[in-house]
Structure 1
Amino acid sequence: MRKLIYIICLAFLVFGCSRSSVDNGDGGEDIENPDENPNPDSPLAVTLVFPHEDSLCNEGTDLTPTESTVFFEWQASDKAENYVVYIKNILTGDVIQRQTTNDKVPVVINRATPYSWYVESSDGTKSEKSATWKFFNAGPGVQTYAPFPATINAPAMAASINGGNVTLQWTGSDVDNDIVGYDIYLGTNNNPDIHTSDVTTNELSVSVTSGTIYYWKVVTKDAVGNTSDSDVFQFKVL
């Protein structure tokens, strides 16, 4: 039986999903990057089914103005004996953790709130993590949705790279599909200043200096003025 892990991470947007039955619990790990090398192609790892990736979740039960019960579902693995579901509230960083031997579990979550989630499956001797999906749990009266925080792809957190130029790469997503651009913040302190505004691609080449640690983040912008900030990443130039 696994222990519940409790942690607090970062914050970002707003919005939600629905369905309920199971207590809420805070804590967990950084589920945006739950593993340095997740292996979703392993026979032990599961494929996520619902809530769908980068979607608006408007299915749920036990609805109240602030909460609903959502059934988290995945394709069962023939190798797995146990599953642990990690569900992160992107706004607060709180993580709900649920253990089950089934291929679905109902969880009470906030409405009008963005979440990310993944499943860790185990066979008693080893475990594997699934891919991580993001979704919004729909809320009453919400007509427009802020983008999800961008996922940083490269350089990886705390990576060491050669000097000269480096290509910053990220992935943006939004349930409204109305992202209009990105502002890139880059600098040598952990609260970097803006470097380039209104980037319309998912990468940017920047000049860097050897022997320096850089910090950077991505602010995603949509057509109606909503924004979201990614985590601040860092890399070292050799």
Structure 2
Amino acid sequence: MKIASKYIVPLVLLTLFSCGGSGDDPTPEPEPEVPVPLAATLVFPDNNEECTEGVIVSDTESQVTFQWAASENTDDYTLTIQNLETGVETSSSTSNTELQVTLNRGTAYSWIVVSSADGTNETATSETWRFYNAGAAIENYAPFPAYDPYPEMGIEVVSGNISLQWEGSDLDGDSLSYSVYLDTANPPTTLLGGTASTNIDATLEADTIYYWQVISTDSAGNSSTSEIFEFRTSS
């Protein structure tokens, strides 16, 4: 059967209009990537030193100006200070490279600076520095509380024999000895042993949460207690 030609043209036109397109739609430009901020370099207070340059505001407090070098690709900095005796942390943000903070005198602290940038969630963290904020004259300072533990806080390790490790330092350069407490209770009260090294061996049960703590004592008899470290063993 033949189809009349008058029906063919409209059908072709309909096909052209239905399937055609301009083909000129622009491809969206990708958003430019925001450069990742780099870690700041700490300047003051000096690492493992006594800070004597604070402005005394009372018998118990002084104001210390923390300083660091500007880091690339950074819009803001967060200064976090930890009281090494109480474990309490305080944080403050600034777009500058220094910040004045009121601290307790005669107290050991650690501090870090976190760099951040607008348009990205990526951050960069500086080294951790420790210092002793000067108080009344002291002939011999207590050692810094033990830090940088292994196992690290909250991680899981294999049960069995393990070497607990940490770092220690003393402003006066005195030799240090350590008493290590390890327990399944918090706070730990079971003495694992004493050592002049910064490590001690322990035997761990499987599928158990352990808490441990280090008491550092210098040759003058001054001592300091670390925060309580925690880890878990695998099943």
Q: How far apart, in 2, do the equivalents of 1:158 and 1:81 lie? A: 31
* 1:153 maps onto 2:154 in alignment: no
Cα 1:110–1:158 change in 2 (3 A) is: closer
The two structures have a TM-score, normalised by structure 1, of 0.75
- Structure 2 unaligned spans of 5+: 1-35
Residue 90 of structure 2, aligned match among 96, 120, 138: 96
Cα 1:154–1:93 change in 2 (3 A) is: closer
- Structure 1 unaligned spans of 5+: 1-41
Q: Deviations over 1:86-141 (max 9, x none)?
A: 12223344433332222112222222111111111111123222122111111122
Q: How far apart, in 2, do the equivalents of 1:164 and 1:100 lie? A: 47
Per-residue deviation at 1:237?
2.5
Q: Deviations over 1:41-73 (max 9, x none)?
A: x85110111101111111123554322221111
* 1:77 maps onto 2:71 in alignment: yes
The two structures have a TM-score, normalised by structure 2, of 0.76
Which has more radius of gyration?
Answer: 2
CA RMSD of aligned residues (A): 1.9
Q: How does 1:100-179 map to 2 (within 5 A)?
A: 100-124=94-118, 125=120, 126-179=122-175
Cα 1:138–1:62 change in 2 (3 A) is: closer
**Paired position in structure 1 for 2:177:** 181
One-letter amino acid of the counterpart of residue 230, structure 2: Q
* 1:44 maps onto 2:38 in alignment: yes
Asked if structure 1 preserves the Cα contact closer than 8 Å seen for 2:149 and 2:229, the reply is no
User: Percent identity between the aligned chains?
Assistant: 41
Asked if structure 1 preserves the Cα contact closer than 8 Å seen for 2:106 and 2:136, the reply is yes
SS of residue matched to 2:79:
strand
Q: How far apart, in 1, do the equivalents of 2:81 and 2:191 lie? A: 31
* 1:196 maps onto 2:180 in alignment: no
RCO greater where, 1 or 2, for CA within 8 Å and sep 6 or more?
1
Q: How far apart, in 1, do the equivalents of 2:156 and 2:94 lie? A: 39
Asked if structure 1 preserves the Cα contact closer than 8 Å seen for 2:165 and 2:198, the reply is yes
How many equivalent pairs are there? 196
Q: Deviations over 1:174-217 (max 9, x none)?
A: 211214210111122223211102x1111112222223332211
Which structure is higher in helix share?
2
Q: How far apart, in 2, do the equivalents of 1:108 and 1:159 lie? A: 34
SS of residue matched to 1:173:
coil
Cα 1:233–1:61 change in 2 (3 A) is: closer
Q: How far apart, in 1, do the equivalents of 2:56 and 2:205 lie? A: 55
Q: How far apart, in 2, do the equivalents of 1:189 and 1:62 lie? A: 41
Per-residue deviation at 1:162?
1.8
SS of residue matched to 1:49:
strand
Cα 1:152–1:87 change in 2 (3 A) is: closer
One-letter amino acid of the counterpart of residue 130, structure 1: S
